[in-house]
Structure 1
Amino acid sequence: MTTNKPTAKRMITTLICIGTLLGALIGFNLYKAHMIRKFMAHNAVPAATVTSAVVSYQTWQPQLAAVGSLRAVRGVDVTTEVAGLVREIAFKSGEEVKAGQVLVRLNDRSDRAQLASLRAAADLSQTVYNRDTAQYDIQAIARAQVDADAADLRSKRAQVEQQAALVEKKTIRAPFAGRVGITTVNPGQYVNPGDAIVTLQAIDPIYVDFHLPQQELGQLQVGQSVAVNTSAFVSRGFVGKIRAINPRLDSTTRNVEVEAALDNRERKLLPGMYASVKVDVGHEQRYLTLPQTAITYNPYGATVFVIKPGEHKDARGKTMPVAQQIFVTPGPTRGDQVAILKGLDEGALVVTSGQLKLKSGTPLVIDNRVLPADSPAPTPQEQ
């Protein structure tokens, strides 16, 4: 018995030391875990401020979009066929003129004098022809003389008509009704054939020419409605109908040219303007829509951040929502909106701005005081 007491004491001492060591190790690990949780709590992902929108259905009219150019129904640069000195400008720049209205008169005094001389010669030829015809009836002269008189009379009359046409060309008239532009020609100025005097444009109605790819040709037909917007009148649209479709495609671009006529009774649209054209095609369709800013595009596809209930609490103890990234299939666009074909259900709450700082699980603060554009027909805003 006396020999075993030291051994028992050593064993007890050893067990106590081992227990103390184990307790210290467990305590250290518990303290370490507590400090890690405390550190993580103080270094949690900060909340991100975003805007949001509810996914909802909208009815869209399918449209084909293009950029076109406005063109007058009739438009020419009025010029002269003959040279001459301008005697009179019979119009005011910018006014409406009628077909046949006199625009410019050139100096034609010498031409009229020549016309009077030729008419006198023609009258004399007529008198000679009548006298010789009477002489021929009584067999006083030969038939050849009457034929020569008739030929001379026709020649004199042709010269009169030629000179009368020349005199008429000295009076320049509007070939059709329309609006004249600004002229820089003044009385006393000498003009040559081909010199532009003033532009004349018939602008009611007015045409818009635009091009569409060949794959959209099957959706086009004469009589379809078109909506036209221009940067000159950002708050107003113009409507018209397709008037003609070119039967030949451009072999370089494979585009087809389309012509539409627009009502322009107010004379607001002018030839040469460029315009945004949209053609209504097919039947109306219902789409789930979102602002285009809600979509994030990357090499793996298109994604959105859906707002879900979370466990994080703000300083007031209120539970904060979190972001969850999901893939979607976007469809056609209209203005600032995009259709969602797959991936979302109606009523889902989606982040519309601020996605760059998000990842799945990021707590969110929703602030919708300033929302991104979400208009189906946006217009440029003047700065």
Structure 2
Amino acid sequence: MPTRVDNKPSTTKRMLWMIGGVLLLIAVIAGIKVLLVMRMIHSMPQPAPATVSTTTVREQPWQPALNAVGTLRAAQGAELAMDASGLVTAVPLKSGQDVKQGQLLLQLRDGDEAAKLQQLQATARLSELTFERARKQLAAQAISQAEYDRAAAELKANQAAVAQQQVVVAKKQLRAPFAGRAGIITTSPGDYVSAGTTVVTLQQLDPLFVDFNVPQSELGRLQVGQPLHLSLDAYAGRQFDGKLTAISPKVDLGTRNVQVEASVPNHDKALSPGMFARLAVDVGQRQPRLTLPQAAIVYNPYGDTVYVVHPSKGKDAQGHPLPPTVQQTFVTVGETRGDQVAILKGITAGTEVVTSGQVKLKNDAPIKVDNRVQPADAAHPTPQEH
């Protein structure tokens, strides 16, 4: 007959039952919490679609160009100075005046030199008359050959003295060596000018040269005669056209750049030597290219991408159309011009891509398109004042 002690559960079984019950209770509580969290998540309002602007990829004519910066230089330019010292008696030049070649710009006192020139000219005239008389007498055999030679030598000597004195007188005058525009002149009559002191600057303004440097790797794309286009901050919206005139035969050992020269017509004298200019040299033939605003490209170390817009598909629980979504796509970009960039691979013409708001996007993210404000997309942008 079993005893009362034998009918009681063992201590081990009781512990197992207790542990099982605790685990079951924990599981029930955890399940309730999970259900509550899921219900809260489902009851939370869905995030609104990100607002972005978009544009359509289009094909445009594209002129390959080599971009550089350069400095304008006068075809002829000089700092004019006097060859001789003296007192200024006349300044017929005005600051900023356009002058012709040989025009008198400044006069020094030359009374003594001019008087001596007149004396030498009179002596030379007398020698000329004496020589003519000697020539006729020699023909009539009235004088010897020695007397004739002496008269001829005297004439040449006097003529040389006149020429020498004319040079001395000319040194008292400052004349324009070429046609151009004068700079600011501060010299006035009564001033004393020393030899070698710069009096005024003279610059030939039409045409102008522009000097710039290109990497040696671009030499194969350049040749004399290629057209180029200049833009300057001083003339927003205006383009100046020119052509390549010379390419240096030497590569700079320090920079590995090559100096290039171009000529730019300047009929209206709008450009000035020393101005900074941005330029684009036309290289190669014009060809069609897919273009996008540069703002549409997301530049990453692992590759450049764009967000392609996919139209909405289906409807939500309330029957409203779902918003469009985006998909990140890798692209290969080419040259840039102004605000535009050429797309070589990755997308086709007519594809709609995001142009702003990409920082808020990821794959399959819903979007709301608002194109009231568009990023810059000009091939030749100009500075704007706001």
Matched, 1:261 2:263: yes
Structure 1 residue runs of 5 or longer lacking an equivalent are 1-21
The one of 169, 190, 193 aligned to 1:188: 190
1:374 aligns with 2:346: no
| Alpha-carbon shift at residue 145 of structure 1 (Å) | 8.6
**Counterpart for residue 355 of structure 1:** 358
Partner of 1:4: none
CA contact (8 A) 1:58 1:286 kept: yes
Correspondent of 1:97 among 85, 96, 99 = 99
Task: Give distance in 2, aligned partners of 1:75 and 1:364.
Answer: 61
Residue 325 of structure 2, aligned match among 297, 305, 322: 322
Counterpart residue identity of residue 226, structure 2? Q
Instruction: Normalising by structure 2, report the TM-score.
Output: 0.82
Q: 1:242 to 1:29 in 2, by over 3 A?
A: same
SS at match of 1:233: coil
Give the aligned residue type for 2:84.
V
Q: Secondary structure at the match of 1:172?
A: strand
- In 2, are the aligned partners of 1:45 and 1:362 still within 8 Å (CA)? no
* C-alpha distance 124-282 of structure 1, shift in aligned 2 (>3 A): closer
Corresponding residue of 2:336? 333
CA shift for structure 1 position 149: 7.3
- In structure 2, the residue matched to 1:215 is 217
Distance 2:121 2:67 in 1: 64
| Aligned twin of 1:168 | 170
What does residue 199 of structure 1 align with? 201
Amino acid paired to 2:262 = A
**1:231: which partner in 2?**
233
Amino acid at match of 2:370: D
CA distance in 2, matches of 1:133, 1:60: 80
1:28, CA displacement in angstroms? 8.7
Distance in structure 2 (CA, Å) of the matches to 1:314 and 1:192: 96
Unmatched 5+ stretches in structure 2: 1-23
Cross-structure match for 1:15: none
Distance 1:34 1:284 in 2: 65
Aligned partners of 2:39, 2:345: CA distance in 1, in Å? 40
Q: Please give the secondary structure, in 2, of the residue aligned with 1:232.
A: coil
Deviation (angstroms), 1:100: 1.2
Q: Deviations over 1:290-337 (max 9, x none)?
A: 111111122211122122245686999342122222222222111111
Identity value in percent:
48
* Alpha-carbon spacing, 1:280–1:134, altered in 2? closer, same or farther (3 Å): closer
1:118 deviation in Å?
A: 3.8
Change (3 A) 1:56 1:147: closer
**What's the CA shift for 1:45?**
4.0
C-alpha distance in structure 2 between counterparts of 1:236 and 1:70, whole Å: 16
Report the 3-state secondary structure (helix = DSSP H, G, I; strand = E; otherwise coil) of the residue aligned with 1:203: strand
What is the root-mean-square deviation of aligned Cα atoms in Å? 3.4
Structure 1 residue 237 displacement after superposition: 0.5
Identify which of 40, 48, 51 aligns with 2:50: 48
Structure 1 residues 350 and 41: alpha-carbon distance in aligned structure 2, compared to 1, 3 A threshold? farther
Task: Output one character per residue of 1:133-185: Cα deviation in whole Å (capped at 9) or x when no partner.
Answer: 99999999999898777666654443332122110221221111111122111
Give how far 1:270 is off.
Answer: 1.1
Residue 256 of structure 1 and its aligned partner are, at CA, apart by 2.0
Change in Cα spacing, 1:335 to 1:71, as seen in structure 2 (3 Å) is: same
Q: Matched residues in 2 for 1:137 and 1:243: separation?
A: 62
Normalising by structure 1, we get a TM-score of 0.82
Instruction: Identify the match of residue 107 of structure 1 among 103, 106, 109.
Output: 109
Residue 67 of structure 2 is aligned to residue 65 of structure 1: yes
Q: Secondary structure at the match of 1:267?
A: coil
SS, match of residue 164 in structure 2: helix
